[in-house]
Amino acid sequence: MFNFYKIAAVSPKLKLANPEANAQEIISLAKKAEDNKAAIALFPELTLTGYTAGDLFFQQTLLNAQYEALKKILNKTKTLKIVIVLGFALRYRNRLYNCAAVLQNGAVLGIVPKSYIPNKQEFYELRHFVSGKEIKNTKITLLEKEVPFGTDLLFANGLLKFGIEICEDLWAVTPPSNFLASNGANLILNLSASNEIVGKGEYRAELVRTQSARAICAYAYASSNVGESGSDTIFSGDLIISEYGSIIARDSKLSLESKILYADVDLERVSNIRYLDSSYSQSETGDIKIVNLNSINTPDTLKRHFDPHPFVPKDNALRQKRCEEITDIQAFALIRRMKQANIKRAVIGISGGLDSTLALLATHKAFKIAGWDSKNIIAITMPGFGTTGRTYNNAVKLTEALNVTFKEISIKELALLEFEAINHNKNKHDVTYENVQARARTAILMNTANKENGLVIGTGDLSEIALGWSTYNGDHISMFGLNSGIPKTLVRYLIEYFANSNKSAGEVLKDILNTPVSPELLPSSNDKIEQVTEDIIGPYELHDFFLYHFIRHGFSPKKILFLAINAFENYDEETIKKWLKLFIKRFFTQQFKRNCMPDGVMVGTVTLSPRTNWRMPSDADYTVFLKELE
C-alpha cells in the first residue's frame, strides 16, 4: 500500500538459557505479527539463549539446544510470509559470533554477525564472542543448507531493502548502518540487549532517531527485557521505530511479559528524500550482496497518524520556539538586505489582511533589533473598490500600535483613469478590473520607495506563490519577499505569536486573525467581504498539505490524495480530489511567475524560489500528473 510496510519490534518473555521455551514464545509472537500483516518481526539480540547467559555460551549443550530451537521455529513458520529476524549464537571456524538470523517461509535466508563487540563496564562480550566485521562474501552450512554469512548482506523485496546491525554497532563511531544505507538499505534493523541505567533510555532513543536522520532511513530497534539476568543489571525491552529523524512509535516500559510494537514506515518517503539529497548520492559504496525475500505481507489499513498541518508543529512549546526562530530569520534577512542596499527605510502596503500584517510585524521586529527608528517604516494603505471598513480600520490601528509612519493613498481614481485609458468598462468586474487595482498599488509602493529611498517589502506567502495567487507585475513583485518562505497555515500562528508578545497590538491582531482571507478587489456589499479567497481556490490547509508532500517528498498525486484522505476528517474524498486537481493545474501553469520572483528568505525545507530548491520550466505539462486522479 503506497510502499508502507508494517514493522513489528518484539521483546519476548524470556527464559534465560532455555532455547526451547524461547522458541515457543517466538513462534507465537511471529504468528501474532503475521495476523497483523507485519512484513517483519524483529526480535532482540541472542533471542534464543538470552544475552546474559555468560559462560554458558561455552557449553555445547546450550548451543545444541539453540540449534534445535531454530529448527522448531523454521518448521512452525513455513506457511508464514512474515520475515523473522532473531538473535543467534553461531559457531564458525572455532569462533563464536553474535549474529542475526533472517528467516522466512521455514528457511534461513542469511546470517549477519555483530561488528563491534563491547568490552567495557558491565559488558564483557569479548570473553565469548569475536567481531564479524571483516566477514564478507561468505557462505556457511547451517542445518545442512548453504546460507549467506557476512556484514555485506542486504535483504530485499520491491522497494523494501533492509540491513542489520546489532546493539553496540549503533553506538560505534562508524555504525555499519552508514555503509548499509549508502548501498541502498532504506530500513535498518537493530537487535539489541541494552540495560537500563538512569538517563540511558533518552540517549538510546536519540541515537536511533538521529541515525535514522543521518542515514535517511527507517530504523527499528528491539531490546531484550526483564527476563535477562537481573543480578547486576536490568533490561527494559525498549522498542523503538523511527523514520528519518522522527520516532514514530516507542514502548520503553519495563515488563515481565512479551511486548510487540507496530509501526507503518513509509519507505517511499525516505527513498525520495535520498534522491533529493546530493550528499547521499556521494556517500561511500562498496560490494554488497542482495538476498531476495519471498512475497511479504502488506498492510490492509494503516495505523499511522498523518499530520494535516505538516508546516505547523503540534506541540505548543515547540510551535512558539519555531515562531521565534522564523521571525528572527525574517528580521535578520531584512536587516542584511537593507544594509547591503544602504537603505534605512521600508515601504510596505498594509491592507488589514494576514500577509501584510505579518510582513509589517517582521519588519518592525527587524527595525527594533537593528536599533532603527520605527517611523522609517512607511506603511501605506491603498483603499480600492472592495476595501471594507473592518480591514481598513485594522490597518490603521495596527500602524498606530507599532508607531510606524502611516499613509493613505486611494487607488480608485488611478484605477478609473486606467480603465478609461485602456477602454475598459468600469462596471465589468473581470480579471482586468482586479489586476488594474493590484498593479496600481504596486506602482504606488515602488514609486514611494524611489521617493523615500526605501525598500518595498513583499507580502505574498509561500501558499500564494505555489498557486500563483498574485497579479503578475502587481503584488507578485517587490524588492524583497519577506513572507515568501512561509505557508498560509503558518502565517496565522506567527501573527498569534506576535499578538501574545505585543500588548499594544494584541487586540487588533486577534481581529485580523478572525478576518476572512480576501484580496478585496471586487466591490463589497453592505461593507462586507464578498470575495473570499478560499471559496475560490479552496482551503489553504489542503493546498499546504499538497505542497508539502509534492515538494518535500516527491509523492505522486495519487499518494497525496491517499494521505490527505487519512489526514483530514473534515473533507470527503471528492472534495479533496477537486482541490488537488486545481492545485496541480495552478502549480504548473503559474510557474512563470515563480521564475522571476524577487529575492526572499528561505525559512524551511520547502521553498519555491528558482534560486534555492525548486527549478521548473514554465512550459511543463501537468496532464500526466492529473491523469493519476481520473
CB 133: neighbour CB atoms within 10 A? 16
Please identify which residue in the block is written with the cell numbers 528524500: 273
Instruction: For residue 278, give Cα distances in angstroms to 111, 185, 186, 284, 285.
Output: 32, 17, 16, 13, 14
> How many Cα atoms within 13 Å fall on the side-chain side of residue 205?
16
Please, which residues have CB within 8 angstroms of residue 577's CB and are 6 or more apart in sequence? Answer: 561, 629
Q: Is 329 helix (H, G, I), strand (E, B) or coil?
A: helix
The closest alpha carbon to 514, from 396, 390, 400, 392, belongs to: 390
The closest alpha carbon to 193, from 54, 94, 51, 84, belongs to: 51
**Residues 289/148, Cβ–Cβ less than 8 Å:** yes
CB 574: neighbour CB atoms within 10 A? 7
Catalytic residue (one of 6, 13, 37, 114): 114
167 is catalytic: yes
CA angle 50, 121, 211 (to 5 degrees): 75
* Crossing angle between the packed helical segments 540-552 and 573-589, to the nearest 10 degrees: 60
573 is catalytic: no
Please, which residues have CB within 8 angstroms of residue 199's CB and are 6 or more apart in sequence? Answer: none
Please, which residues have CB within 8 angstroms of residue 170's CB and are 6 or more apart in sequence? Answer: 177, 190, 192, 207, 208, 211, 221
114 is catalytic: yes
> Exposed, middle or buried, 425 (CB in 10 Å: 0-12/13-18/19+)?
exposed
Catalytic residue (one of 167, 168, 365, 593): 167
The closest alpha carbon to 489, from 313, 363, 327, belongs to: 313
Give strand ranges (E) for 224-345. 239-243, 246-251, 259-266, 289-292
> Exposed, middle or buried, 451 (CB in 10 Å: 0-12/13-18/19+)?
exposed
Q: Is 351 helix (H, G, I), strand (E, B) or coil?
A: coil
Q: Positive or negative, the Cα torsion across 190, 196, 201, 204?
A: negative
Instruction: For residue 594, give Cα distances in angstroms to 311, 439, 440, 473.
Output: 21, 17, 21, 12
d(Cα 209, Cα 170) in Å, to the nearest integer? 11
Catalytic residue (one of 6, 13, 25, 45): 45
C-beta contacts of 247-254 below 8 A and 24+ residues apart? 247/205, 247/208, 247/209, 248/304, 249/9, 250/205, 252/201, 252/205, 254/196, 254/225, 254/226
Positions marked active-site: 45, 114, 167
